[in-house]
Amino acid sequence: MKKHHDNLRQLITTVVPAGVLTWALAVLTISYMGFAKVDAAFISSLVTSVLAVYGVSRKEEDKKERTARTRSAPTIPKSPRAPKSPPPATP
């Protein structure tokens, strides 16, 4: 009987946050599509909270890493321009 309660508890702790996440993403999508007017900040905070329950978080970037990346940004070499062809001769 105790094993049944443990399995049920594990199922509930997995399904409830997944349901809240699904609902919040659906409401946020509907809001962005213009079908409903809801507070996007509230829904976004719900999404962030539920993702934190699952251990998903934003990677914090080190300040040194960010400045090194922006300073050494690759440059795009200019491609050689093709010579212009002369305009067609008109009779």
Compute φ and ψ for 56, nearest 5 degrees.
Answer: -90, 125
Q: Which structure tokens are listed for 83?
A: 């010579």
Name the pTM for this structure. 0.53
> Would you tell me how many other CB atoms lie within 10 Å of the CB of residue 72?
8
Report how far residue 85's alpha carbon sits from residue 66's, in angstroms, rounded to the nearest whole number: 45
Helix axes 40-53, 2-33, angle to 10 degrees: 150
- Report whether 31 contacts 38 (CB < 8 A): yes
| Residue-by-residue pLDDT tens, the chain, 91 positions | 777 788 888 888 888 888 888 998 899 899 888 888 888 888 888 888 888 887 877 777 666 666 666 665 556 666 666 566 667 777 6
